[in-house]
Amino acid sequence: MKILLLPGNESPDDSKWLSKIEPQLGKIDFHVDTITYDHWGKRDQGIDIDNEVQKINDYTAKNDDYFIVAKCMGIILALIANQQKNINPKASVFLGSPIKTGQGIEFLKLFDPPKFPVLFIQQESDKLTPYQYLIEVLANSKKDNFKSISISGGDHVYDDFDQVIPIISNYVNN
């Protein structure tokens, strides 16, 4: 089984996060494939969403037995690929969902049609989206393929691997 790892948008912070989480995920007996973003390392250049979604589509066209683990911008990219009907993971784990207050409806539209189960891992006081707001949005969605769990923190970094890795491992192994 494979895990497709989709990081957040910020370099070098998310590239450091990647270098730490990849070996941790490998310990749970999964092959980890990572998509890194072309704009990393280029000054003053933003993410090319179409290009990065195409990378996901290229990966999923060649692989059919995989999970997605995504953080922040990686979630948005995965959901855009979902709307294009190009992905079909066994399930996904989304860390640090970037719903800002008042954007819940727009975020949920990215899930149509809902095709795969999703576990949301969100910090209680995440600076982009606190856990309480996330669960309100998910409850209003009336979709049954979403689960959520809160972890301590609020920095939106998700590098407390003693909390995160066991949750991911339990979810993908059940």
Per-residue pLDDT tens listing for the chain (174 residues) = 899 999 988 766 788 888 889 888 888 888 999 998 888 877 677 888 899 999 999 999 999 899 999 999 899 899 889 888 888 899 999 999 988 755 666 777 777 666 789 999 999 999 999 999 999 888 887 778 889 999 999 999 999 999 999 999 999 988
Quick one: pLDDT at residue 103? 61
Quick one: pLDDT at residue 47? 84
Q: Which residues contact 115 (CB under 8 A, 6 or more apart)?
A: 82, 87, 88
Measure Cα distances from 88 to 60, 74, 126, 156 in Å.
8, 15, 28, 27
Q: Which of 133, 124, 134, 123 lies closest to 158 in space, CA to CA? A: 123
> How many separate domains does the chain show?
1
Distance CA 170, CA 165 (A): 8
- Determine the structural domain holding residue 165 and report its residue range: 2-172
Tokens of 102: 């008042």
CATH (domain of 167): 3.40.50.1820
Quick one: pLDDT at residue 39? 83
Q: Please give the model's pTM, rounded to 2 decimal places.
A: 0.91
Let me know: does 128 contact 94? Beta carbons within 8 Å. no
